[in-house]
Structure formats: structure tokens, C-alpha cells
Amino acid sequence: MGLLALGTPLPWSEAKQHADYVREHGIEQLLHIWHRLKDRTGDRLLWGDEIEYLVISYDDESKNARLSLRQTEILQDLQADADERRRTPSREESPVAAGAESVNGTAAKVLEDGQTPQKNNEACIPVFHPEYGRYMLESTPGAPYGATLDDLLLVEGNMRFRRKLAKSRMKSHEVPLTLTSFPRLGAPGIFTDPYYPPGGGVARSLFLPDEITNEHVRFPTLTANIRRRRGSKVAINMPIYFDENTPKPFVDPTIPRDRNLWPEDANAREGAALDNHIYMDAMGFGMGCCCLQITFQACSVGEARRMYDAFVPVGPIMLALSAAAPIFRGWLSDVDCRWDVIAGSVDDRTAEERGVKPLQHDRFVIPKSRYDSVDCYIADTPSNRPEYNDNDMPIDPKIRDHLVERGMDKLLATHFAHLFIRDPIVIFEETLCQDDEKSSDHFENIQSTNWQTVRFKPPPPGSPIGWRVEFRSMEVQLTDYENAAFSVFIVLLTRAIMSLGLNFYLPISKVDENMHRAHRRDAINTQKFYFRKNLFDPKPGHPCDPSLDALSALPEDVSPRQPRSPVANGFGSHSREPSHCESSCSSHRPSRVPSPVRSDSTPSGPVEDEYDLFTINEIVNGSPERNFPGLIGVVRIYLDGLEKEGKVSAEVRKGIERSLELIRRRADGSLITLATYMRRFVHSHPAYKHDSAVTQEINYDLIKALDEIERGERPAPELLPEGWREGYDNKDGRWSQCCGAEEAKLDQQSASASDP
Ligand code: ADP
Ligand code: MG
Ligand code: MG
Ligand code: MG
Ligand code: MG
Ligand code: MG
């Protein structure tokens, strides 16, 4: 969440009159940032995760697991706790770099330009943020991690500490659970604590009360204005999972089709609720889901653009690997992931924009929701062939031309001209008038309500923060061991991509197809995904060290086929950026790799020859027969290179291997996803009638079981590798020691609290 400005939000009828104004000034603000900072280089790698939690409230007497709506109180307590810690810093040194983005005005220190990473306590004063659901929390480390492999060992401990801290502010019947989607959100009966009946005037949902929404005025306004702009409630339909006793066709008996409380109640009767699907009708179903996101600061805008592009094809793969959302509104669905639910939950497109009615009043037919997969690549490198941007992607030509006239390159201008086809949904009357040189609020209004799989984040004006990229597709995992493993893997993958100059491009329409496949039940074992065949072809050139050529670090069996055709693709003249980021990247890559065999070739030939269908196992773990190293393979190449130079200690390598083991085994199917675990649990529950229904009783037992797994009280060897709790139990491992003293204090407090 960005800064939650207070003010008077405009209803849609008024906000829409200011839409052009906000867009125009948003673009001015972007141009100010662009001109000031496009040549900024030398920023260090900084990165940090975001984890979202459901606050579960147990009612053991009636065997019900509900969502606790105490977000506000819990956050206030956590804030008081953070303030207290800041006043009385503990003696213990935290080894994490200082410098968090100030999000709510109270966040940790921001790094001064050129400041070296320093050891201090900030990382152990985590930042907790509000989220859409009044039953949700979000946490980030108090300060981002830096560009050292050693920091990777701190991630799990820091996450665990954050969870304990959150838990310490909860009541004894409450727990923070990192579960992507609450199985009975919107199901009949009591699913919130306290109980509220569905049907408030904001969402007008047949299933959800308005009280599940964060009470900050921004959230109800977003909710209502999306509905108003669209002209109806959002309509999300996820396919039902047909079990042996599920009636066919499936006509959901839990939809109150006859309700007549709001005009929108008619939506369900008039076609919005599809048979054979689980119908959901409110923003809360999607924005009330939890995810795991990772943000990186790149050394320059060029590097950020390359990182962004490389992440795009990785997005669906990581979605499938992290799948954790198989149940919606009390029904088993035929998909394993949340993404499409969120996409539908904020789909503010009108009927004309959706192509349901001919264009008359609106400007564009828009193929996707504002929450969806990325629509275009943006890197200005020859390896980014124009053919890859093959999506039908509406842009505002006036905005693009204006950006180009004012000095932005066409590719990036096109990206923003696409984001800016959207209207601002929430406008605060008091902040309409801004100084475009100093503020980026209008820009962020549109930018941060384009929720795509990857986000390219320009530096906020007047801050020392550089160009950043956020990886956003992953579902949150049940344990911090897993959340750390996914984070560490993505961090190492970026390092491998940048250091080895890898090329992941494939047509963006194929990435979208992969997104669809990633949702399918047990996608890891049943689906094939498009991926680029040769990740080393051609090398785009690394701005941080053009002399680097890690190809020589490749083992024989994965060397790229040589030679490649040296024909240029005609994509502009800026084939390689000057080397200006050495210092920022040097600590994190092999510095001397012998015998460069760089080829200046840029690709030619049909794009269709560049990619193929792979299993997730092949994409992640590689395929010797296909001469494909796999994503873990390239990470290992990168690490082996560093290891040869003595830059990776045995302890660090061991910690990293703990993380890679999870990713490797999820991909090869020897461990299952949480989605599969949850399905199996439901199937084997004695009360399950094989009719796709996840009852209150089943849900209670499921949530308890998940909670027990997280606490290490219930073995789940099919889900987690042996030894996954090493970091929790072995206090000698460094991955258990981030904020160790603080954590010990919390342990003591909770032990004495539970003493009779
Ligand atoms: P948002 O909700 O807007 O995506 P958050 O502030 O919640 O962003 O999270 C951003 C993450 O990025 C945090 O983990 C934070 O530690 C990390 N971070 C903060 N500053 C930087 C920076 N300069 N570069 C990279 N990551 C950063
Ligand atoms: Mg956040
Ligand atoms: Mg933000
Ligand atoms: Mg969030
Ligand atoms: Mg985020
Ligand atoms: Mg889009």
C-alpha cells in the first residue's frame, strides 16, 4: 500500500470529471522524475519482501475458524511497539542494511546517496501495513536487504520474527496465517469475528459484509467506485471442481438469487452468475487474498527495465509453483491460484470496454482488467525484439506522443501510455492540486492501481530511492521457511539473469497463455508451459560489467549452441549501455571470468523457433536432453562462479541449498503445493461428501491443520522437505538468528503469558 492520505474522496460521478486532469498531471510528474533521474546510476542492489497474513479467530466451541476484523487495533499495537523499540534500541546488532522506503511515515530510515550498508536495528523493527481486508496484515522487513549473499541467511529469521511479533499482539484465540485465500470467505454462516450480515451499501455483495473492508476511506471508495464505473458489480466466476457427487450442471444453491436489497442484486439473476462456476461479486474476494511480493532496486533505469522484462515470463511459472488457493466461497474449485479472482475483483471496465457492447461512450476496448498480467516488455536492448510485444494492447496515443516529444523513448512511453488508459478510481478533493515537480501522487494514482504481475517503479521524487522492480505473481506460502525459500530463489535468479546476461524473452501472448495454464488444478504436473529454448542467446550485455562473460562458467552440457546468426534486428542503436554500475553490483557477482566469447549477434529468424513447450520440472530443474539448464541451473552456474572465487562460504551455500531444495522438489513433483495439500485434506475429511462443498466443520479442521503445520506440530512430509524447521530449532544456524535477541524476548513473554 502506498501512503494512505487522508481526505475527502470523490464519488465516481465527480472523480470521473477529474480523470483527464489527474492523467495529465500524472504524466507531468512522471516526466519530471524521468528527466531528473533517467541517467541516475550506481544504486546498490537493495531488495525486500512483503508478506500478507490472514488473522484467524477460532471459535473452538462451535468449531468455526473465522476472520478476525481486528486489523486496526493490532496495527496500532504493533505501531506502539515499534515506537517503543525505536526509543529504547536493543544492544544487539542487526546485520541488515538500513533504508526502507517510508511508507506510512513511520517506516525505517532511508539510505542516503552512496551510503554503505550499515548494521543496525532497523531491520528488527519491521513495518506492518494495512491491507484491503480488515482481517489482513502486511509486513515488510524494517529495512531492505543489501547486495550480499550473507543477507540471504537472514530472510527466514526475519520473516519468523515478524510473524511472532504480529502474533504477540493478537488474542489467544487469534493467529496470523499466511494463507492465500480464506476458504469460506463469503460462504453461508459465520465467517467473520464479529459477525456482520452481508449486503452493505458499498460493495452491495450477496455474500460479503462491507465490514470486511479496511475502514480507511480509500478502500470503501475504491470498492464503490469500481462498481460505479463498471456499471454493475464485479463478476468473478471460477470453474467448480466436479467431484463424484457434485450435481451436473452445478447451480450454486448458496447464491441468494431472490434478494432485493440493492438494484445490483439483479446482476446474479441476469447472467453474472454462471452455472458450473463459483460466483463472486465483490472486490473483497480478490483483494482479500494474500500474496508474497519482492521488490528490487536496480543500479540504473536500464537494469530495471531488463529485470522487469526477464521477470515477465517467470511470473506464471512462479504462480504455478506457489499455488495455494483451491477453495473459494466454500467450494472446491478447478483452479489452484488466486490471480484470476483478483483480476476479476477489481475489473472496473464498462460493458463497452469489455467488448460486450459496441464502443459508443468509452474510448477503448480493453482486453484485460487493470489487475492482470504484464502487457508489454520495456527494455531498450536488442534482445527485446518488437515481435515479442504481440498483445492487442490499447494505448493512449496522445500520452505516448507527448512522452516521446518530451524525451522518453517510444518503448517506455508505450508502457506508460498503456497504464494511463485507466481512470483514477480514488481522488481526494484536498490533493487535486499538486506541485508536479515535487509530488508523484497523480502519477501513482494510476500507476499503483495497475496491478500487474511485475511493476516498474520509478523513484519517488525527493527520495534517495532508485529505480525498482516488483515481482508480484507469487502466492504466499504457509511457512516462513517456504516464503524465504521463494524469496531467496527469486533474488538469486535476478542475480543470475543480470550477471550472466540471460535472455528469457518469448512473445507476451505466450506468457498470457502460461498464466492461464498456471491456474489449472495441479498445473505443475499436468501442464506444459512456453519457455525460451536458449537462455543464453543472445547476451544483452550487462550494464554493470560489460567485460563479464560467465558463459565460460557453464558446464559442457548446457553450453549454448554456437555460432549464432550475427544479423541485427533493427531495434534501435543503443545496443549496450556504458559500464557505470560496477560498484553497485560487484559484491554480488563473479568479478573475473576468463575468456570472453561475447557475440554481438542480435536475434533474427522466426520468433516461433525460439521457444517451446516445457514442463515446470524442465523449466526449473533443467533438461540435459534439451540442452536446457533450467532456472535452478542458471542460479547454480552463478553461484558456482562465485564459489570458485571464494565468495560463498559453506554456511551460505548450505542456507541457499535449503531454499533451492524446496523449489527443486515442488517443480519435480516430489513435494506438493499447498493447493494440492488442501484438496487432499478436504477429500480425506470424514465429513466431506464428495460434492465439492467445504463446510464450516471441514474448514475448521483444515485451518487448524495448516496452523499446526506452520507451528511444527503436524508433520507434512508431502508438502515440506525434511529438516524444514532447522532454522526454527537450531539456534546455531545464522538463518535462525536475525533479530534473535528480540525473538527470544517475545518467546519469553509468550511463555510467561501462558503460565498459569
Ligand atoms: P508496495 O506495497 O508499494 O509494493 P512496500 O513498501 O509494502 O511496497 O514494500 C516494498 C518492499 O521493498 C519492502 O520489502 C522494502 O523493504 C523494500 N524496499 C524498500 N526500499 C527499497 C529500495 N530502495 N529498493 C528495494 N527495495 C526496497
Ligand atoms: Mg506493500
Ligand atoms: Mg506502495
Ligand atoms: Mg500488500
Ligand atoms: Mg507490493
Ligand atoms: Mg493490462
In angstroms, the CA 374 to CA 343 distance is 12
pLDDT digits (tens, 9 = 90+) for 44-60: 899 999 999 999 999 99
CA 340 to centroid of ligand 3, rounded, Å: 22
Q: What is the DSSP letter of 272?
A: I
CA 50 to centroid of ligand 5, rounded, Å: 6
Plot region of 755 (φ>0 → left; ψ -120 to 50 → alpha; else → beta): beta
In angstroms, the CA 205 to CA 200 distance is 7
Alpha carbon nearest to ligand 1 atom 9, residue: 50
Around ion ligand 5, which residues have CB less than 5 A away?
A: 50, 293
CA 369 to centroid of ligand 6, rounded, Å: 6
The answer, yes or no, to whether any atom of ligand 1 lies below 6 A from the CB of 50, is yes
Q: Does domain 9-86+123-532 have CATH number 3.30.590.50?
A: yes
So where are the chain's domains?
Answer: 9-86+123-532
Q: Which atom of ligand 1 is nearest to the CA of 107?
A: 6
Question: What is the ipTM metric for this complex?
Answer: 0.94
Residue with cell 517467470: 314
The answer, yes or no, to whether any atom of ligand 1 lies below 6 A from the CB of 139, is no
The answer, yes or no, to whether any atom of ligand 1 lies below 6 A from the CB of 25, is no
pLDDT for 541: 47
Phi, psi of 489 (to 5 degrees): -60, -45
pTM: 0.90
Alpha carbon nearest to ligand 1 atom 26, residue: 47
Query: DSSP letters along 476-511, please?
Result: PPSSHHHHHHHHHHHHHHHHHHHHHT------HHHH
In angstroms, the CA 389 to CA 417 distance is 14
pLDDT for 95: 39
CA 658 to centroid of ligand 4, rounded, Å: 26
CA 530 to centroid of ligand 3, rounded, Å: 32
Residue ranges of the chain with pLDDT lower than 70? 1-5, 89-121, 538-603, 730-737, 754-756
Q: Which atom of ligand 1 is nearest to the CA of 145?
A: 16
pLDDT for 123: 72
Pocket test of ligand 1: the residue of 295, 300, 452 to mutate, having most ligand atoms within 8 Å of its CB, is 295
In angstroms, the CA 460 to CA 455 distance is 14
Which residues does residue 531 pair with via DSSP β-bridges, in sequence order?
Answer: 612
